[in-house]
Structure 1
Amino acid sequence: MEIGAVFSPAGDWPAIVRAARVAEDGGLASIGFWDHYHSERPEWAYVAGWSAYGALAALTSRIRLVLMVLCRLNYTLG
């Protein structure tokens, strides 16, 4: 069995990095984010999932990054 963590919604980037490193060092298999903001609480802080994936890929070495929600309708192609 593999265990992962979901970091969403979250807006404190230093805390996200610390949590990702703790998850990786602690042996968790994966971490995930929503790819877009979707909440009834717009006042909540939020780090965009795609940006977080790219940055965390550079800051971690083993842990898998898992797409929690992938919504094409929120992005303009081209």
Structure 2
Amino acid sequence: MIDINFANPAFFISGGKEAETIHDWHRRLAQKNARSECAYYPDKGHAWLFSDVDTHIQLLRYFFQNAAFPEKLKGF
């Protein structure tokens, strides 16, 4: 059981090469707040946002400005 409350929505993002435990916790945490979301970047590791800044910026625009979801990311 997760005993946590979010005051604001959050977007949990991981690289596809990260441990399944990370992905599982991101799904669980996102479910704790109806306004939160989670996704992963296939074939990337933990620090993917440094190698693909454009996708990171697209994700921020999606989450904060209702822009299109980044094509390179996948939802769970």
TM score, norm. by length of structure 2:
0.35
TM score, norm. by length of structure 1:
0.35
Tell me which of the two structures has the higher relative contact order, counting C-alpha pairs closer than 8 angstroms and 6 or more residues apart. 1
